[in-house]
Structure 1
Amino acid sequence: MVIKVYIASSSGSVALKKHQQSIVGFLEGNRINFQEIDITMLEEQRLWMYRNIPQDKQPEKGNPLPPQIFSDDCYCGDYEDFFQAKENNTVFSFLGLSSKPSVKDSES
């Protein structure tokens, strides 16, 4: 199972960049393996992302904005969904993971 985070590296939006950093930072901090996919560089991946976001999560106008999160090819959600899962302490189930990866405590 691969967690995929679709991002836009060349966005001018500060909020969008902060949302992307928040998700990537959480995944890195919890040692969750993930793949970062930059939709500004890969047209095919951008179109795949657009096609695979459920209709009820599509904006009324325009295209969905990154960050968007998938577990393999299953849609997990956008930043707002991630934020809610984080607030509710349910990120691992949100990502389709059974539990937090076991990490040895190195601060002894």
Structure 2
Amino acid sequence: MVIKVFLATSSGSTAIKKKQQDVVAFLEALKVEYAQLDIACNEQNRMWMRQNVPEEKKPSNGIPLPPQIFNEESYCGDYETFFDAKEDNAVYSFLGLAAPPGSKEAMQADEEQHIVENGTHADESNEEGAADDSIGEEFLEETREEVAE
């Protein structure tokens, strides 16, 4: 799957340029495969992006501004939703990609799965297990003392 980032290479808006650079730099840092599709110089890219941004995600004037992010044909979001996902350590989910092992997002998903399966946090169950072990050791010691008497 290729992530598509629709952007305007000749935008006069510094805010748009900064947002585009932020998205691209973050994808590069994560080593996510992506394609930059220019809407300023390519009418087909501009029309495809405008037609494929869901109606509920379009601004009141109906024209979505770059950057707009897609996973192949599936709409991921705009800069604001990307930024929110970044803040929540959920960029891979936002992009519709599996988080690589060891990433914060993968560790959070593992923790959530553990809670669903066991009803406790992984670190809580370890602490409870440690407490159970010490109680078991105390019981075993008392039993040994009783047998020895």
Tell me, in whole angstroms, the C-alpha distance in 1 between the residues paired with 2:70 and 2:100: 17
- Corresponding position of 1:58: 58
TM-score, scaled to structure 2 = 0.66
Relative to the length of structure 1, the TM-score reads 0.91
Higher RCO structure (Cα 8 Å, ≥6 apart): 1
Following superposition, the deviation at residue 100 of structure 1 comes to: 3.1
Alignment match, 2:89: 89
What are the within-5 Å matches in structure 2 for residues 25-64 of structure 1? 25-64=25-64
Give the equivalent residue in structure 2 for 1:105: none
> How far 1:101 moved relative to its partner?
7.7
2:77 maps to which residue? Answer: 77
Distance 1:17 1:53, change over 3 A: same
Aligned Cα RMSD in Å? 1.3
- Rounded Cα–Cα distance in structure 2 between residues aligned with 1:7 and 1:101: 30
- State the alpha-carbon separation in 2 of the partners of residues 14 and 20 from structure 1: 10
Identical pairs, percent: 55
Larger Rg computed on CA atoms: 2
- How far apart are residue 61 of structure 1 and its match? 1.1
Distance of 2:27 and 2:68 partners within structure 1? 14
From the two aligned structures, give the one with the greater strand fraction: 1
Inter-partner Cα distance in structure 2 for 1:60 and 1:46: 18
What residue identity is the alignment partner of 2:90? T
Q: Which has the higher helix share?
A: 2
**Residue 45 (structure 1) shift:** 1.0
Q: CA deviation at 1:62?
A: 4.5
Count the aligned residue pairs.
102
Task: Tell me how far apart the structure 1 counterparts of residues 85 and 36 of structure 2 sit (CA, whole Å).
Answer: 20
Moved over 4 A (4+): none
Deviates more, 1:11-20 or 1:57-66: 57-66
